[in-house]
Structure 1
Amino acid sequence: MSAPRRILIYGVYGSGKSTLAARLADHLGLPWYPVDDLLWQPGWVEVPVAQQRSRIEEICRRDRWIIDGAYHGWRDVPLARADLVVGLDHPRWRSFGRLLRRTVRRVVTGEEICNGNRESLGSVLSADSILLWHVTAFGRARRRMRAWQSDPSAPPVVLLRSPAELDDWLAGLPRRGVDRNSA
């Protein structure tokens, strides 16, 4: 098995996309482009969708990348170029639990997320709460990953349903772009 060079990681909020992207970048020696850094300006001002798309197109023209998400205005761009889609298809309780723990930690510590942005108690309790986004997006994200997996015209999709499956899958990948079958 040769190592993929263009990877889209997909899943609902809290599923571990960024954590996996960092692990894969280290494991495969690929550059990782955190989507949050591309989508949000300081003050949680969303980058206009046309500009998001332009940024994603520029990255996806490259030969090597990992992107940790795909959103409505440009989802087609990485899908058209990806060698592999890794779908984090964890149960709702697991991804929501992770998201809740991460969100509480970030609120308490004031941890910077992207471009100087931080979560606050106000943002968590607002109508735009990432916790509410999870609840409303979970089913759509799961259906989308499963549809991609069954679509012969889509890139290969690996659905990982647990941390153990993820660890087993990652252990089977060649390291730093070296094909184990040719080494």
Structure 2
Amino acid sequence: MKRILVYGVTGAGKSTLAARIGERLDIPYHSIDDLMWEPGWVEVPDEIQRDRIREVCAADTWVIDAAYQKWAEIVLPRVDLIVGLDMPRHVSYGRLVRRSLTRLVRRTEICNGNRESFRNLFLDRDSLLYFHFRSWGRKRARMRRWQADPDFPETILMRSPREARDWLASL
């Protein structure tokens, strides 16, 4: 396991688990949000995103915490292991709400100095809280297809926080 993708719905715990895997295995962890967002919540243009992902994936070892479909074909041929966080909706949504509200209240900087705001959490059409509902079924189905496909890289699914903690401890 030298190149690991942690995949799941928004709020499932991808970034936390990916960072811990990187620490545990002494593999560089790359936060996808840091590569995709500039200050002021300016989204990096698609071609620059693709260049950044190519650079990360060209390395011999890495852990990343997402695979956007617009550049997944760069990541998937290079990955050794996919860790899918296939959590029930109430778990991932609960985590997302708690995390977002904590960041909002504490004014926590995330991805290149950006911060959560009331507007981007609750009022924007692109809100993470709304996005979770729009993407949950699609991402969950994708992980399950990957696991079922014998031609795909090894894919393990974690269906509870305890399962993910136990697996991490076993590394």
**2:37 maps to which residue?**
40
Equivalent residues in 2 for 1:94-173 (5 A)?
Answer: 94-125=91-122, 126-173=124-171
**1:75 maps to which residue?**
72
State the percentage of identical aligned residues.
55
* Distance in 2 separating the partners of 1:162 and 1:47: 33
TM-score w.r.t. the length of structure 2 is 0.97
TM-score w.r.t. the length of structure 1 is 0.91
Q: Which runs of 4+ in 1 moved over 3 A?
A: none
* Distance in 2 separating the partners of 1:136 and 1:162: 21
For structure 2, which runs of at least 5 residues remain unmatched after alignment? none
Match of 1:66 among 63, 76, 93: 63
SS of equivalent residue, structure 1 residue 8: strand
* Distance in 2 separating the partners of 1:9 and 1:148: 13
SS of equivalent residue, structure 1 residue 108: helix
Post-superposition CA distance 1:22-72 (Å, at most 9, x none):
110111000000000000011101001111111101111110000100102
SS of equivalent residue, structure 1 residue 107: helix
Post-superposition CA distance 1:88-137 (Å, at most 9, x none):
00000000000000011111111001111001001112111100000100
Q: CA deviation at 1:171?
A: 2.3
For structure 1, which runs of at least 5 residues remain unmatched after alignment? 174-183
* Distance in 1 separating the partners of 2:97 and 2:15: 16
* Distance in 2 separating the partners of 1:28 and 1:55: 23
* Distance in 2 separating the partners of 1:160 and 1:76: 23
Please report the RMSD computed on the Cα atoms of aligned residues, expressed in angstroms. Answer: 0.8
Q: How many residues in Structure 1 have an aligned counterpart in Structure 2?
A: 170
